[in-house]
Amino acid sequence: MDLFEMMKQSGHEQVIFNLDRKTGLRAIIAIHDTTLGPACGGCRMWGYESEADALNDVLRLSRGMTFKSAAAGIMFGGGKTVIIGDPQKKTPEMFYALGRFVETLHGRFYTGTDVGTSGDDFVEAAKIARRFSGLPVEFGGCGNTGLFTAFGVFKGIQACLKECFGDESFTGRKVAIQGVGKTGEPLIQYLQEAGAEVVALTDADRPKMLAAAEKYQVAAVEPDAIYDVECDIFSPNALGAVINDRTINRLRCRIIAGAANNVLAEPRFDVMLRDKNILYAPDFIINAGGVIGVSDEFEQDGFNEERTFKKTEKIYDRLLRVFSYATEKGLPTQDAAEQLTQQLIESMAEINRKWVDGK
């Protein structure tokens, strides 16, 4: 399939390839939809095996950001950046170059931290451009977005418990955690403080996995073994596509709820989970805490932590609405979430047709 056909099928407006010969920066920016406002989405740096893999990733992630922002009530569209390269070899100069490329879009796109990048990287980029968020607190940003994402996932799991078991108590509930990075680790703390039993954790970074296991007194298992752990809640907080043909029949959980993007390798797994009586919390609903945090940086009074946590709490209500709609319409939950969000985007598109003060 050629690029334009891929864009047509996924609804993308624009894809930009960026090469800076001096610094070696190779980046792709994808803008999916700007109905609600300028596109916004993180910048991921990863050692992709091919340019095709990088392109597929940026298209999937940017589309997800359209739905994530809309569902979270944020007046941004969906976009994403991927940098092809080893995060261990990044340089400040690469992010100066990225800043210049982003600035050429004249406000159509805002970006910030994601896998393989940090707030400090965007302190450098922000010297060149104004379109960066997720900066450290001392630079006026929201700091570690993983804290807000983890809180949102925690509230989302509460909603899942209420839907599955009729009450949101964590007491006696067993959780398996996949990924103990900037979201997975604080999520463990939220869960344990609420009375949940975190029965196993894993991470591709073995030293990080063992350190978290010791810190929280949780059993560490090899990455592939996490799917076989018996639990109430399986929480994927690493990379996507973990629910696939190889893993779906191994799951021994009642709920899937985590911070990872694009958890389902293909849409058909949404139906399969429903048929297995496993409740799936749509990723773009439950993991919106991070984008809620970075969007708050653009409020007129600047970032406010208390306001951000208050906004993130609403993930609980949004998930319950998705579950109710899914039941009413006889839909799997991902499909229900996408339908509800598409209805919202179409309503806003109609509203935005009205001319107001030159806009």
Interval 190-205: pLDDT, tens:
999 999 999 999 999 9
Cα 337 from Cα 316, distance rounded (Å): 14
Cα 41 from Cα 26, distance rounded (Å): 18
Q: Does the structure show a pLDDT above 90 at 239? A: no
pLDDT class for 300, splitting at 50, 70, 90?
A: confident
Cα 191 from Cα 168, distance rounded (Å): 12
Q: Is 310 a catalytic residue?
A: no
Regarding the domain delimited by 146-288+315-343, which CATH topology (the fold level of the hierarchy) does it fall under?
A: Rossmann fold (3.40.50)
pLDDT recorded at residue 350? 85
Active-site entry in 80, 155, 174, 311: 80
Calculate mean pLDDT across residues 257-284: 96
Encode pLDDT of 302-349 as tens digits. Answer: 899 999 999 999 999 999 999 999 999 999 999 999 999 999 999 988
Encode pLDDT of 75-109 as tens digits. Answer: 999 999 999 999 999 999 999 999 999 999 999 99
pLDDT recorded at residue 355? 65
Q: Do domains 3-59+80-132 and 146-288+315-343 have the same CATH topology?
A: yes
Q: Does the structure show a pLDDT above 90 at 357? A: no
Encode pLDDT of 132-171 as tens digits. Answer: 888 899 988 898 899 999 999 999 999 999 999 999 999 9
> The domain 3-59+80-132 belongs to what CATH superfamily?
Leucine Dehydrogenase, chain A, domain 1 (3.40.50.10860)
Q: Does the structure show a pLDDT above 80 at 1? A: no
Instruction: Enter the pTM of the model.
Output: 0.90
Per residue, what are the HEC states of 81-135?
EEEECCHHHCCHHHHHHHHHHHHCCCCCEEECCCCCCCHHHHHHHCCCCCCECCC
Encode pLDDT of 49-61 as tens digits. Answer: 999 999 999 999 9
pLDDT class for 354, splitting at 50, 70, 90?
A: confident
Encode pLDDT of 27-75 as tens digits. Answer: 999 999 999 999 999 999 999 999 999 999 999 999 999 999 999 999 9
Whether 213 and 201 have beta carbons less than 8 Å apart is answered as: yes
The single-letter code of the amino acid at 218 is V
**What residue spans define the domains of the chain?**
3-59+80-132, 146-288+315-343
pLDDT recorded at residue 129? 85
